[in-house]
Structures are given as structure tokens and as C-alpha cells.
Structure 1
Amino acid sequence: MNILLTGASGFIGGHILRALEQAGHEAQPVSRRYGVDFQRMLTPEDWLPHLHGIDAVINSVGIIAETRGQTFGALHYRAPAALFRACVMAGVPRVVQISALGADGQAFTPYQLSKKAADDVLRSLPLEWFILRPSLVYGEGGKSAALFRCMASLPLMPLVGDGKQRIQPVHVSDVVATVLQCLQAASARRTLDVVGAYPLTFVDWLQSMRRDVGKQPALTMPIPSKLIMAAAHVGRFIVPMLHPDNLRMLQRGNTADVQLLAEFLGRMPLSVEEAP
């Protein structure tokens, strides 16, 4: 297949690009590194020249925090919506949208709401669409996992509150496997939550990272949520992932039923113990 891949230079997009090439697909990468600024691709007409001869589109563009030059509204909603509408105009039948767990009727942050807005546009169009909603994605090259590994390496491990937030991290290889399955699945127009094999608490995940490198469990230092939030208003300018909205999403939890994904893949996704 000839596939247009947006966000090809990002963490998830880079893994997808390598997998497409290994599977024998012809990938057309789109990102700022490849000369296309998503912030300027806000109408279907902007996208049409990129869709000649394309069989499927995969949109993996995503940012965890806004900057002056990159906004949720443009990157998560307006540009993807324009791309999806251009697919209808150009006759591109299949679109895989990588959204986010929590981009649903309970969404409450600009990050989630902008993802949901694009998802809703895609659902309304006469396309063979798949909307994938990953939980926390970890693996080689992932910035969020690198931050968590850094936290886990400390002899006294700081926690947000009591650290009992429920999460269901998914390895990037399972996200990629789900995308590849979407390209060949007979039944489209599906929304899939892409999660790891089972939920665990945030503190248990950090302790598992220590076990992976042969370290004993660490002592923990619970930090009151109010104090964390106050620090995040400053810390986000140094580490964008520390934006208060991201902490609020962590506090709510990040889990889903894994059964539909397992049926789609024909196997269970990896657990944190099995992941490379």
C-alpha cells in the first residue's frame, strides 16, 4: 500500500514508519522534518496535493503540551479534520487516527477535547476509519517513559499524592501492531482503546522499572496534590509534561477494558513484565 503518515518524525510515528517499511509498504512521511508544517495545513485544499495515489492515511501527530508555535487546536483538530475531509475529496478510502485514551464524553482537558473533536469529524465522514486511543505509551525513544524512569531511579521516589492512580501503559510495539492490523482489517469504522495487558498503580509501575534494571524497591515520598499542582505551574516551562492538565489526567486514571483490543490483535497486548 502507498500510505501517507503524518507525525512521521515523532515517537510513535517513527516506530510506525519503520514498521511500514519493514512490511513492504510505501510510506510517504509528513512532518516538519520532511518539510510540512501541520500548523499551516488547515484546509482540505492544503492536503490534496499530498494525496495523489495514496491508499491509506495514518495520522500520528500529537503534542503533550502547547507552545507558542504549536497548539492543540491546530495540530490535534483543525489540521487533521482538514486532512480527513481531503481524503473524502481525493478518494482515499482508509484512515487510521491515533487519538488518546480519555478523548471521549468524559474529556475535560484541552488535550483530550482537541483529540475528540478530530475523532468526531472522522466518525462523521464516509471513510473506512479506525480511531485508536492509546493509554500511556512507552518504549524506545519515548519522552514520558524516560521521565518516569528517571523518577524510578531515585533512591527516594517522589509520588503524585499517594501514587495509587490506576494506569494501563501500552508498549509502542503494540500500538504499531494495532495500526498495521487496521490497514488490513475487513471491518472498519471502529474505535479501539489501546492499552496494556492489565491495569496497575503508578507507584507499582515505577517500582517495576526499578526491577527491570536489577534495583531493589525504593522508598517513596508522597507529595500532596495541591503542592504538586502549584509546582507544576512553574515546572511546565522546564518540563512540558509537568503541565497541571497532565497531572489532572493522571489523577483521574488511565485504564480501559483490554478485551476488544485482544480480539482485534488475535492476542493479548504485552504486560509491563513482557515488554522489551
Structure 2
Amino acid sequence: MSKLVTIFGGSGFVGRYIARAMAAEGWRVRVACRRPNEALFVKSYGAVGQVEPVLCNIRNEASVAAALSGAQAVVNCVGTFDTMGANNQTALHVEGAGRIARLASAAGVHSLVHVSAIGADAEGGSNYARSKGEGEAAVLAGFPNALILRPSVVFGQEDGFFNRFGAQSRLGPILPLVGAETRFQPVYVEDVAQAALNGITRGATGVYELGGPEAKSLRALIKDVLTEVKRRRLVINLPFFVGSAIGGVLSGVQALTLGLFKNTLITPDQVRQLRSDNVVTPGAKGLAELGVTPKAYETVFGDYMWRYRPAGQFTAIRDSAKNLKKV
């Protein structure tokens, strides 16, 4: 019988690509998520019965133990930007990650991959960075031979990075940014998935930082987005204190409405994150050591960013029609 991998958060953005990569290699894949009825699409990643979504809440011991039953490998992709509510960063990044590692070790799991983030630091300047750093420590305490992947911002068809700015480019002539000079090293989601797969098959352990072939400032990345979507916008860099104020107001409204209004624009904690570059540390182990050649975002994001062009997929046809001569 083929080996079984349990992927916590396997229906999320990164998790679904890891599930697809593992299935393509012949693994049976158990996708552990809170809403399996909304994750039925993962079944199409393999043969009948090869990929199955199951109900799991990583805040519950019995739920995690059941999802781990019979698995030879485990991947934890669960993550959040929420600082409030039951599923906050501490509950998921620290307590949940530690619970998965501890129970995986007790269940005799051979390999554990934990997806963290560049900048993870228990002494970091943002709650997100601290929770990721504390989560790594909890994972290693429970499963010392774990493989920890720290990707920079991840891009791909369903990403929340390029898609976000593409959508904002349609709203008006000005595109305000916070942290315009902060540098990022976008990494392709399929490269992250391949890194996780290779890490398991090669028995890799330790910390690996994953970034694409080039690091750029947020301003430069957004200019590339605007070129791709064929829109001219004035990019304005807002001071960090302005971003913090905006984030504070929006988060306050979210709290007052008990979550009926969801702050998806920016939070004070995200502003704190933007004060630090999000790039691979010089000398750190990365994609190359895991046998992956990274793809540049310029070669990929055109496949899905067309939706933000003035005429969508018909923009090229419209532009071509302008060159037709009238008879």
C-alpha cells in the first residue's frame, strides 16, 4: 500500500499545491481542515480515493491524533494573520504547531515538514514574527528532526499578494503603499510544494529559507504589477505611522462589529512586519539544497493577472485592433 501523508491546512493556498505534488508522486493524501465539505476540490488531485479531506481542528488533541493515524509523513501549512478570536496566531502558529509535532512524534511519524515564514523570530518586532518563531521552537521541541521551511511571500494563481494589488489597481488613479521600500523575494507556490516533497523524500531536516531568484522593493514589485495589468497609477508611499493609524481604525471596527466587518486591508501588526525586509538570509540553506530551481514571478503571474487589465483577456485583442487601418 502506498504511503500516507497528512497535510494540515491542505486545502489552503500553499497546502493544496503540496497535496497535488504528493499525490502526483503516488502518496495517499489526507487533507486535514476545519471545513472538509469546502475542500472537496482536492479529490481531483489524484485517483479515486487517493486524496481525501477530513475534519480536523488543530486546537483539539483528539482531532489532531485522529488525523495523524497511520501517516508516515506530516506537513503543517496552517497559518493566519488574525490576532483575535479563537483561531489567532498564538493558538495556531504556536500551540497548534507544537501539538501536531508532539502527537506526530508519539504516533511514530517518520517525517514532519513545518511551513513557517522568513522573519520568524521569537524576539521579533511583530506578533506574527514572534508567533512563527515560537511555533518553530515548539515544533522542534516535539519533533527534533523536523524540516522547517521559511518562504518569503508566496505567489501563484490564488495568491493574496499580486492578486491583491492587481485588484487595488482598478480602484482609482492612486495606489497607496505602506513600506514601499521594504524588500521581498517572491517564491512560486509550486516551488514551495516541490521543496516540501523533496524534503520528505530526501529526509531533510533543519531550517531552509525559500525565495525566488530576485529580491525587489515593494514599490518595484507593484510597478511590475501595473505594467502587467496595463494600468498607469501614481504609487504613493505612506509613512509607517499613517499605516498603523489606518490599521488600528480598521481593526477597531472589526472588533466593535464582532467580526462582521473583516479587516483585510492592513493591520498594525502587518505594518510592523513591513519594517523589516522579507528576503533570504545570506548563507542560509534554501531551494537549491532541496533540488529546486526557483521560477521568477515575471514568467508566471501573467497567467492569472490578466483579469485586472482594463479589458481582461481581451486587452491584447483590443490593443491590436487599434493598429487596424480603416478602409
TM-score, scaled relative to structure 2:
0.76
Corresponding residue of 2:220: 204
Corresponding residue of 1:37: 57
SS of 1:273's equivalent?
helix
Corresponding residue of 2:315: none
Q: Is the 8 A contact 1:64 1:241 kept in 2?
A: no
* Structure 1 residue runs of 4 or more that deviate by more than 6 Å after TM superposition: none
Q: Is the 8 A contact 1:58 1:96 kept in 2?
A: yes
Amino acid in structure 2 at the alignment position of 1:194: L
**What's the C-alpha RMSD, in Å, of the aligned pairs?**
2.2
Distance (whole Å) between structure 1 residues aligned to residue 228 and residue 133 of structure 2:
35
Q: 1:124 to 1:83 in 2, by over 3 A?
A: same
Query: Where does 1:126-165 land on structure 2 (aligned, <5 Å)?
Result: 127-153=144-170, 154-160=172-178, 163-165=180-182
Corresponding residue of 1:20: 22
Corresponding residue of 2:86: 69
Identity of aligned residues (%): 27
Residues 135-186 of structure 1: per-residue CA shift (max 9 Å, x gap): 111211122332222234553221225x211111112111111111111114
Amino acid in structure 2 at the alignment position of 1:119: E
Q: 1:245 to 1:126 in 2, by over 3 A?
A: closer
Corresponding residue of 1:246: 270
Corresponding residue of 2:127: 110
Corresponding residue of 2:235: 220
What are structure 2's unaligned runs of at least 5 residues? 37-54, 255-261, 302-327
Distance (whole Å) between structure 2 residues aligned to residue 7 and residue 31 of structure 1:
5
Q: Is the 8 A contact 1:174 1:270 kept in 2?
A: yes
SS of 1:203's equivalent?
helix
Higher relative contact order, chain-length normalized (CA < 8 Å, sep 6+): 1
Q: How much does 1:23 deviate?
A: 2.4
Greater Cα shift, 91-100 or 109-118: 109-118
Q: How much does 1:105 deviate?
A: 5.5
Amino acid in structure 2 at the alignment position of 1:224: P
Q: Is the 8 A contact 1:168 1:200 kept in 2?
A: yes
| Structure (1 or 2) with the larger CA radius of gyration | 2
Residues 168-205 of structure 1: per-residue CA shift (max 9 Å, x gap): 1112111111111111114x322011111121010110
Q: 1:52 to 1:262 in 2, by over 3 A?
A: closer
Q: 1:65 to 1:247 in 2, by over 3 A?
A: same
Structure 2 residue 105 is the aligned partner of structure 1 residue 88: yes
TM-score, scaled relative to structure 1:
0.88
Q: Is the 8 A contact 1:168 1:197 kept in 2?
A: yes
Q: Is the 8 A contact 1:93 1:127 kept in 2?
A: no
Q: Is the 8 A contact 2:7 2:32 kept in 1?
A: yes
Aligned residue pairs total: 270
Q: How much does 1:124 deviate?
A: 3.1
Q: Is the 8 A contact 2:199 2:205 kept in 1?
A: no
Amino acid in structure 2 at the alignment position of 1:168: Q
Q: How much does 1:37 deviate?
A: 2.1
Distance (whole Å) between structure 2 residues aligned to residue 11 and residue 176 of structure 1:
11
Q: Is the 8 A contact 1:95 1:127 kept in 2?
A: no
Distance (whole Å) between structure 1 residues aligned to residue 226 and residue 181 of structure 2:
17
